[in-house]
Amino acid sequence: MIAGEDVPSDHCQAMPDNPPSRVMSLKKPLHRQTHGLIAQPSAMASGFAPGKCILFGEHAVVYGHPAVAVAIDSGVRVSVERSNEWTLEGIPFEPSRHPHISHILNAVFEYEGPPLKMEVESNLFSAAGLGSSAALSNAIGAALQAHINPGQSLDPISLARMGHSAEAMAQKGRASPTDTATSALGGCIVVSGQPVDGTKHVFDAELETPEGIREWSINSVDLPDSLREAYLVIGFTGEMSSTGKMVADVAKRLERHPELREEMNSIGRITSAGLTAMSAGNLEAVGMAMDACHGKLRLLGVSSPSLESLVEAARPHSLGAKLTGSGGGGCMIALARDPQRVAEAIEVVGGRPLISRLGAPGVRLLED
Ligand code: PMV
């Protein structure tokens, strides 16, 4: 099983029979490098890209509000080296089963070089809202670039764009740039329909979706040192989650109960308050905003009994706790000064914990 590509439904699908000729339209052209440019391919090149957690704004971001995500310590490592045959994890590589990898190889790099032996290692839970497919795309993009052009430094924005185009291709032209941008840039990223006060604008992304053109502003936030006193504890419920299904369920619920729009607006306000608290380094206020955000997500119907059980177990030992990502399974997160204590509490009720710094570094090359 390959990280990020064992994901159900819309998160990752087999290559469509008739892929749209142009799923991605970017304001800046993709960073293309062909085999024709190769002077001396490296023996082996390895890249690592982190996963992500959404701290605030999931679901509301679909309705134009900002979302705040942080890169986490866990992620995906990919290594590539020349070989006599195409292999992935020691077995023959079947491009149609690995749409993200195939897209980066063929559509982005237009790779026509000798066969590659590719190895993938991941310490992320898959289909759990941690951005494993985005991390896979960014890590393979980094490893390929280093293999083709050894010595050239990585451009995280180009990698974020490559990763987004791979996600869009694998998700029928519908993919937000949140996961790929956070994994590529690292730190704390705010994705919104328009620039957000108090953040640094990094780049804009645009995608031609079946519903029309969508545009996003990708911004970063410098996290003050005081936030480093706390850690994120991620708790995996063990249940996979489909983002497309959860987003569609919320849309149906909003149609039946238009009053729920007010909960969406509340998530937007909580996200702004959470962002202000983060910029000020006020951990207590960040935790309170996480609790409040979880309450609103519950009202939208995207929590689940297992998420509730993990959130409830973590709360007494945390500054705040909430579900993260699309919900309906997947993961919750807690902000804690004593992460081990929270990890134990999560394990006691059957969750699988993962501890991370808040805002880990983005995509990078690894020395072997
Ligand atoms: O579960 P994830 O990481 O795919 O997060 C989905 C976030 C949503 O807001 C629910 C959907 C989206 O496209 O932003």
What is the structure's pLDDT at 3?
58
Which residue lies with its CA nearest to atom 5 of ligand 1? 325
Q: Are residues 95 and 165 in the same domain?
A: yes
**The ligand 1 atom nearest the CA atom of 327:** 1
Q: Are residues 204 and 242 in the same domain?
A: no
* Domain around 304: 226-356
Q: Which of 58, 70, 294 to mutate to test the pocket of ligand 1 (most atoms within 8 A of CB)?
A: 58
Query: Cα separations (Å) of 11 from 153, 166, 183, 326?
Result: 30, 11, 16, 11
What is the structure's pLDDT at 32?
37
CB of 4 within 6 A of ligand 1: the answer is no
34 in a structural domain: no
Q: Are residues 87 and 198 in the same domain?
A: yes
CB of 77 within 6 A of ligand 1: the answer is no
Q: Are residues 186 and 243 in the same domain?
A: no
Q: 154 near 365, Cβ under 8 Å?
A: yes
Q: Are residues 209 and 287 in the same domain?
A: no
Place of tokens 């031609």: 208
**The ligand 1 atom nearest the CA atom of 131:** 3
What is the structure's pLDDT at 4?
56
CB of 5 within 6 A of ligand 1: the answer is no
pLDDT, tens digit, for every residue of 215-235? 999 999 999 999 999 999 999
Q: How far is the CA of 147 from the centre of ligand 1 (A)?
A: 32
DSSP codes, 239-282: ----HHHHHHHHHHHHHH-GGGHHHHHHHHHHHHHHHHHHHHT-
Domain end point (choices 207, 224, 241): 224
Q: Which two tokens stand for residue 99?
A: 């749409």
Q: Are residues 209 and 253 in the same domain?
A: no
CA 270 – CA 264 distance, rounded (Å): 10
N residues, the chain: 368
CB of 59 within 6 A of ligand 1: the answer is yes
CA 348 – CA 336 distance, rounded (Å): 17
CB of 66 within 6 A of ligand 1: the answer is no
259 in a structural domain: yes
Place of tokens 């945390």: 318
Q: Are residues 297 and 203 in the same domain?
A: no
Q: 55 near 71, Cβ under 8 Å?
A: no
CB of 167 within 6 A of ligand 1: the answer is no
What is the structure's pLDDT at 170?
79
CATH number for the domain including 294?
3.30.70.890
Q: Are residues 73 and 218 in the same domain?
A: yes
Q: Are residues 262 and 299 in the same domain?
A: yes
Of 103, 92, 110, which Cα lies nearest the Cα of 13? 103
Q: Which residues of the chain have pLDDT under 70?
A: 1-42, 368
CB of 247 within 6 A of ligand 1: the answer is yes
Domain end point (choices 183, 201, 224): 224
**The ligand 1 atom nearest the CA atom of 175:** 13
pLDDT, tens digit, for every residue of 251-260? 899 999 999 9
Number of independent structural domains in the chain: 2
Domain end point (choices 224, 255, 284): 224
262 in a structural domain: yes
Query: Cα separations (Å) of 260 from 64, 65, 149, 249?
Result: 15, 15, 51, 13
Q: Which of 53, 70, 178 to mutate to test the pocket of ligand 1 (most atoms within 8 A of CB)?
A: 178
Q: Exposed, middle or buried, 81 (CB in 10 Å: 0-12/13-18/19+)?
A: middle
What is the structure's pLDDT at 309?
98
What is the structure's pLDDT at 34?
37
Q: How far apart are the first and last CA of the chain?
A: 24
Q: How far is the CA of 175 from the centre of ligand 1 (A)?
A: 9
CB of 329 within 6 A of ligand 1: the answer is no
What is the structure's pLDDT at 311?
98
